[in-house]
């Protein structure tokens, strides 16, 4: 009997979170448990977990040094069995040895390799399978009531988008309290545009009256996350997501 195909319109909570600007942690660990009416998954998908190799650097070793596989194991402080086991999984990935040594009177010849080549091979070896996990697949239509509410776009007709303004002046122009704008400097500084001088806002000294291009601030303000999206901020309270939702078109000013 053929296995039923998975509906293509279903999404995981991780995918849904990325589309709407939620942090993954909030979508997986908070939102489903804070709402009694949060939908159940339509079905599940099995994901294989892989452990990718951690790159190793050997700055104190000459990469042109000729070493055997056993010598390479001693340099890495791993067992020779692990090295040969990794080699035997796909011998074609092992780098070419240096000039073939003369065959000894007994046993197999011992090949030498360039240390830098072995290190590249080791750092790019296939990942190890670490089991599997079941993830839920949800109907986006049923998740729609839990999408972040969009903010009403601010418009400033008659203002030059290239004019230079501070965050306080920008708050005055769009008619909100200064603290309403300045809070994002603490909660999501990475989302703010660069200053006129090209500096990141979180790199400036305290109490600096940084100036921004008005058009950049307006585009940022209109693309900020909705009011119900959030994750717990280090200073307490529910802050906005780490990034704005993915949209088909960016606002222009």
pLDDT at 229: 39
For the cut 70, the answer to whether the pLDDT of residue 249 exceeds it is no
CA-wise closest residue to 253 among 178, 165, 166, 158: 158
At residue 81, the pLDDT reads 92
What is the structure's pLDDT at 236?
A: 34
Show the CA angle centred on residue 186, arms to residues 185 and 190, nearest 5°.
Answer: 60
pLDDT attached to residue 1: 47
List residues bridging with 43 in a β-sheet: 137
Listed in order, the ranges of the chain carrying CATH 1.10.10 are 66-126, 152-223
Least confident span in 12-16, 34-38, 186-190: 186-190
Specify the pLDDT at position 131: 81
Q: What is the pLDDT of residues 9-33, one digit of tens each?
A: 899 998 998 888 787 888 888 889 8
CATH code for 66-126? 1.10.10
Euclidean distance between CA atoms 98 and 94, whole angstroms: 12
Question: How is residue 33 annotated by DSSP?
Answer: H
Q: Which CATH number fits domain 152-223: 1.25.40, 2.60.40, 1.10.3470, 1.10.10?
A: 1.10.10
Predicted confidence at residue 208, as pLDDT, reads 74
Stronger pLDDT, 201 or 112, i.e. the higher one: 112
- pLDDT, one tens digit per residue, over 145-181 is 888 766 678 889 999 999 999 999 999 999 989 888 8
Residue 213, CA distances (Å) to 79, 173, 219 in order: 59, 13, 10
Rounded Cα distance between 21 and 34, Å, is: 18
Residue 141, pLDDT above cutoff 90: yes
Q: What is the pLDDT of residues 110-121, one digit of tens each?
A: 789 999 999 999
pLDDT band (50, 70, 90) for residue 185: confident
Do 176 and 187 contact (CB within 8 A), yes or no? no
DSSP H helical ranges for the chain? 13-20, 24-29, 31-34, 69-76, 80-89, 115-123, 140-143, 167-174, 178-187, 214-223
Q: Residues with Cβ < 8 Å from 48, sequence gap 6 or more?
A: 129, 131, 132
The string of pLDDT tens digits covering residues 80-108 is: 999 999 999 899 999 999 876 555 556 56
pLDDT greater at residue 245 or residue 196: 196
* Element housing 44 (H / E): strand 43-51
* Distant-in-sequence, close-in-space partners of 152: CB < 8 Å, separation ≥ 6: none
Name the burial class of residue 41, with classes exposed (0-12), middle (13-18) and buried (19+) by CB atoms within 10 angstroms of its CB: middle
Q: Decide: 219 and 228 in contact? Cβ < 8 Å.
A: no
Q: Residue 235 has what pLDDT? A: 35
Largest CA distance in the chain: 91
Pairing assessment for the beta strands 66-67 and 113-114 based on DSSP bridges: antiparallel
Task: Summarize pLDDT for 56-89 with one digit per residue, the tens.
Answer: 999 889 999 999 999 999 999 999 999 999 999 8
């Amino acid at each position: 009997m053929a296995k039923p195909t998975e509906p293509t319109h279903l999404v995981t909570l991780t995918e849904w979170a990325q589309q709407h600007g939620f942090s993954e942690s909030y979508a997986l660990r908070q939102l489903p448990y804070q709402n009694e009416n949060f939908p159940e998954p339509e079905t599940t998908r099995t994901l294989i977990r892989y452990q990718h190799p951690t790159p190793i650097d050997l700055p104190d070793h000459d990469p042109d040094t000729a070493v055997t596989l056993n010598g390479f194991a001693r340099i890495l402080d791993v067992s020779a069995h692990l090295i040969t086991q990794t080699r035997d999984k796909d011998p074609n990935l092992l780098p070419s040895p240096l000039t073939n040594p003369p065959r000894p009177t007994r046993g197999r010849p011992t090949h030498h390799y360039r240390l830098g080549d072995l290190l590249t091979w080791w750092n790019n070896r296939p990942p190890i399978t670490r089991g599997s996990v079941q993830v839920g697949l949800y109907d986006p239509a049923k998740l729609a009531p839990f999408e972040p509410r969009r903010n009403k776009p601010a418009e400033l007709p008659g203002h030059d988008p290239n004019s230079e303004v501070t965050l306080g002046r920008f708050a005055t122009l769009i008619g909100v309290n200064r603290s309403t704008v300045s809070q994002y400097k603490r909660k999501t500084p990475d989302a703010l545009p660069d200053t006129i001088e090209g500096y990141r806002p979180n790199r400036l000294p305290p109490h600096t009256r940084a100036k921004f291009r008005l058009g950049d601030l307006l585009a940022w303000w209109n693309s900020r996350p909705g009011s119900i999206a959030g994750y717990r901020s280090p200073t307490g309270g529910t802050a906005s997501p780490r990034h704005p939702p993915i949209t088909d078109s960016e606002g222009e000013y």
